[in-house]
Amino acid sequence: MARLTGWWSRRSNLEKVELYTRWTYHSLAVIELSVTGSAVAQAGRPMGGWLLLAAVAHVVLVAVLASRAFDWLMGQRGRPDRLIAVVAALSVVCAALAMAAHRFGPLDDLEAAAYAVVGAISWGVGGVVLCLLKARHMLAVAAAGAVVTGLAGAALTLPLPACIGFAFAALFGGLAFAFTSGFSGWLLRAVRELDAARELQARLAVAEERLRFGRDLHDVMGRNLSVIALKSELAVQLARRGSTDRAVEQMAEVQHIAQESQREVRDVVRGYREADLRTELDGARGVLDAAGISCAIEVAGAELPARVQSALGWVVREATTNVLRHGDARRCTVSVAVRDGVAVLVVENDGTGAHGGRATPAGGHPGPGSGLAGLRERLAALGGTLDAGAADAGRFRVTARVPMAVREGAR
C-alpha cells in the first residue's frame, strides 16, 4: 500500500493541491466533448464533422491554456496573453458554428444547439478566467461571452427569441465556469502564499536560533575581553613603572580569565550550559508550530536530575533545529520517559530523510565537537548514548539515553 500511495504522500501540501486542481479542471473537458458530441450526432455531415473538429481543437487549446494558467498562478511562467486571445476567438467560432447548424437546417433541435453553444462559451470563459485575478474582470468575461453569443445569433439572422435564449444560456454557463475557475485559481494562490509563509517562518526560526547563539557568545566574550584588555594595559603600565610583581599578578589574572573564556565558549558551542528540559520542549513546540510543523510532546516518568535535563534539553534544541533546516517534515513527535533507571528521549519526524544522518549545530555553525558528535560527547560525559538515523516509512529518529544516576565527575 505504501508503494501505491507513496507518490502522493511524498508531495507537499502545495503540490497536492496543485495536482488535484489541475486534473479536476482538465476532467471537465469531457463535459464539452459529450455535449458537442450529442449535437454532432444530430447535425450529420458535413456540418457535424466541422462541429466535431472545432470542438476537439477548442478542448485541446483550452486545456493548454489552463495548464499554462496554472503555471502562471504558481509563478513558473508569464501570463499566456496570446493564447487567451486565440481561445476567446475559437470559443466564439464554435458557438457560431453550432448556431449556424441550427439556422441552416442540419441541427434542427434547438436544445441540442443550445448545449453546443453553452459548452463552447462556458469552457472558453473558464479557461480565460483562470488567467485573471480580479472578480469583476471574471464577471466581465462571462458577460462578454453572452453578449457576443447574442450578436453572433443576430448576425446569422436567428429569430430574436432564439438569440436571447442562446445569450442567456451562454451567460448561465459562463458564470458557472467563471465561478469554478475563479475559485480554483484563488485556492491555488492562497495555498501557495501559505506555503511561502511557512517556508519564511522556518527560515526566520533558524535565523532566530543563530541570533541566540550570537547573543550568547557576545555575552560570554564581551565582558571577558574587556577585562582582559584593561588588565593587560594595566600590566604594561606597571611593568614600565618597574612594578614587575604587580604586573605579573595582573597577567596571571589575564591568563585565568582567558582560560575561563575558553571553557565558556566551549560551553556555548557544545551546549554544556544548564538548560531546563520543560523550557526547551515548550520552545521546540512553539518554533515548530510557527513553521507549520505539527508537534506532539509526551512526558512521562519521574522528575529528572538537573544535569540529565540539561543534556536532554540540548538534544531537543539540536533536533528541533535540524527538523527546520533539513527535509520536509510535517509532523514531529517528542517523547520523554524513564525506563529501568534510564531517561529516554525520542525525537521523530516524517521528513524525507534529507538529514543524511548528519546534524549541524544550532545556529548552523559546523565544526569539531558540534552537531551529533557534540551531543554524543555531552551524553557520554553522563554515561549516556545517542542514536540517530532513518526509521520506518521515511521517518528520521533521534534517541538519547541518559542514566538517572549521573556518575561522579560528570560535567
Non-local (6+) Cβ contacts of 112 within 8 A are 38, 39, 42
As a dihedral over the C-alpha atoms of residue 402, residue 404, residue 409, residue 411, rounded to 10 degrees, the angle is 50
Query: What count of Cα atoms within 13 Å lies in the side-chain half-sphere of residue 51?
Result: 34
Greater confidence (392 vs 249) lies with 249
Distance between start and end Cα atoms, the chain:
49
Mapped onto helix, strand or coil, the DSSP state of residue 361 is coil
pLDDT at 89: 92
Q: Are 158 and 98 in contact (CB under 8 A)?
A: no
CATH class of 277-403: alpha beta
Non-local (6+) Cβ contacts of 136 within 8 A are none
d(CA 192, CA 340): 48
Beta-strand pair 331-339/294-299 = parallel
pLDDT at 196: 84
User: If you count them, how many residues does the chain have?
Assistant: 411
pTM as predicted: 0.57
- Which contiguous run of DSSP H or E holds residue 347? strand 342-349
Backbone dihedral region of 348: left (phi > 0), alpha (psi from -120 to 50 degrees) or beta?
Answer: beta
The letter for the amino acid at 349 is: N
pLDDT at residue 370 tops 50: no
Cell of residue 296, nine digits: 506532539
Please compute the mean of the pLDDT values over residues 353-360 and round it to a whole number. 41
Confidence of residue 48 (pLDDT cuts 50, 70, 90): low
Using a 10 angstrom Cβ sphere, with 0-12 exposed, 13-18 middle and 19 or more buried, the burial of residue 211 is exposed
Mapped onto helix, strand or coil, the DSSP state of residue 270 is helix
Greater confidence (53 vs 128) lies with 128
Cell of residue 145, nine digits: 461571452
| pLDDT tens-digit map of 262-307 | 877 877 766 545 567 887 888 788 777 766 688 899 988 668 888 8
List the chain domain ranges.
2-198, 209-270, 277-403
Please compute the mean of the pLDDT values over residues 18-37 and round it to a whole number. 78
pLDDT at residue 358 tops 60: no
- Which contiguous run of DSSP H or E holds residue 388? strand 385-390
pLDDT at 3: 58
Q: Are 329 and 294 in contact (CB under 8 A)?
A: no
| pLDDT tens-digit map of 51-76 | 778 888 888 898 899 889 988 988 88
Percent of the chain residues topping a pLDDT of 70: 83
Please compute the mean of the pLDDT values over residues 185-204 and round it to a whole number. 84
Q: Which of 403, 402, 376, 370 is nearest to 388 (CA)?
A: 376
CATH architecture of residue range(s) 209-270: Up-down Bundle (1.20)
